[in-house]
Amino acid sequence: MMNVPLILGFDTSVAHCAAALRHGDNILLSRTEGMTRGQAERLMPLLEYMLTAEGLGWCDLDALAVGIGPGNFTGIRISVSAARGLALALGIPAVGISAFELLAAEAEPAEHQLVSLPAPRGSVYVQLFTGGRASEPPRQIDPSNPPADLLLPSGCQVIGAQATQIANALAGAALPATVATITTLPETLTRVAQDRLAAPGTLPQPAPLYVRSADAAPPRDAPPVILP
């Protein structure tokens, strides 16, 4: 699609504002600011700072990348709405990337991966990946007692939250990996988006990824899974 795209990526799906500016294989600038509230007020000034610090303007961008969750409902809406509005105004694509995709991208490559993220009340959100792409919708499960219909391919790796517990509960059908957090979120976000831009096909507009019902109380949102 583009030879060397300039991508601005950002995420407010958990208790932070995180952003990175990528030009091809180079991260020009990356910032992650921890905050439990105020992302709506902080996001645009942070993005303006990122561009100004590199002597760039909005019209220099080729694409946007945005984290779509799962995570805090309000936080996800803030960044997804910003990405969609900016993409429309600038006439450039916006790529929505889930936390499942980010965690899979940081793990060792494997044919089959079950990616697991923390969820409320000791549960986890899981999604199966095959060949580096999501092959089933995400779902919420009890890691100590996975549902009977959660059938994993032979040798599938379980990565992320409660990986060993899930693998043990599946009677050895999975091999637990060690990756538990996304340590370089904005850099990984823009890298995954760059790969998506290079692939053939039409990119859908970013949309929030809600695994559990949106009527859950905000204070019970899952704890942050991404470290600054």
Q: Render pLDDT for 43-76 as a digit per residue (tens, 0 to 9).
A: 999 999 999 999 999 999 999 999 999 999 999 9
Distance of CA 59 to the CA centre of its chain: 25
- Short-list 79, 97, 76, 89, CA closest to 42: 79
Q: What is the pLDDT along the chain (228 residues), one digit of tens a residue?
A: 447 899 999 999 999 999 999 999 999 999 999 999 999 999 999 999 999 999 999 999 999 999 999 999 999 999 999 999 999 999 999 999 999 999 999 888 889 999 999 999 899 999 999 999 999 999 999 999 999 999 899 889 999 999 999 999 987 778 888 776 777 889 999 999 999 999 988 889 999 999 864 444 444 444 444 333
DSSP 49-60: HHHHHTT--GGG
Query: Quick one: pLDDT at residue 155?
Result: 87
Residues 6 or more apart whose CB falls under 8 angstroms from that of 45 comprise none
Structural Rg of the chain based on CA atoms: 17
Query: Quick one: pLDDT at residue 180?
Result: 67
Please state, in angstroms and as integers, the Cα–Cα distance from residue 184 to each residue in 18, 26, 94, 99, following that order. 10, 14, 20, 12
Distance of CA 31 to the CA centre of its chain: 16
70: cis peptide before it, omega within 30°? yes
Query: Quick one: pLDDT at residue 177?
Result: 80
Query: Quick one: pLDDT at residue 178?
Result: 74
Query: Quick one: pLDDT at residue 226?
Result: 39
